[in-house]
Amino acid sequence: MERDGWRELGFWYDCQMPEKRWLFRADRKGIAAFAAEVRSFASEATEPGEHTHLGPFSNLRLICAEKREVTWRGIAGRREDFEALAAELEHCAQKAAKGERVLAESWASGDSYRLMLLVEEDGFDPGAADQSAES
């Protein structure tokens, strides 16, 4: 059931607390799906505190906030921050090559969590990435 949720989302993610990072794995189609989720949130969220949950476990939150920040809760920022992230993801969806790691530092600030996107081969199955998920 969880595997189907990852497949529906189009990408896989994990909050890696010891490394203080969110790891995302997706092929170019999945990266485009991630960008669409971020762009949709940017167009709808206007008040600080508004948020949405992504994924089968709803662990990742996109949060409308006064400042850009990445924490164990998720990704926070203003509308223009999310629009910039969506544009960066859209660029990755068009240009990134398999095995490339992107976003590692662009959203980092001080001691915050990092975002890391590992670009997978086209046809990547995000449901198979979660070894703990049930079918």
Which domain covers residue 54, as residue numbers? 2-18+31-96+108-116
User: Is 86 part of any domain?
Assistant: yes
Q: Residue 75 contacts by C-beta under 8 Å, 6 or more apart in sequence?
A: 22, 60, 61, 62, 63, 69, 82, 85, 107, 115
User: Is 87 part of any domain?
Assistant: yes
Least confident among 16-30, 49-63, 105-119:
105-119
User: Is 121 part of any domain?
Assistant: no
Distance CA 123, CA 18 (A): 30
State the alpha helices, DSSP H only, in 14-78: 28-44
User: Is 133 part of any domain?
Assistant: no
- What does the pLDDT read at residue 108? 64
User: Is 59 part of any domain?
Assistant: yes
If one counts the domains in the chain, the total is 1
User: Is 129 part of any domain?
Assistant: no
Band of the pLDDT at 135, cuts 50, 70, 90? very low
User: Is 57 part of any domain?
Assistant: yes
User: Is 43 part of any domain?
Assistant: yes
Task: Give the pTM.
Answer: 0.87
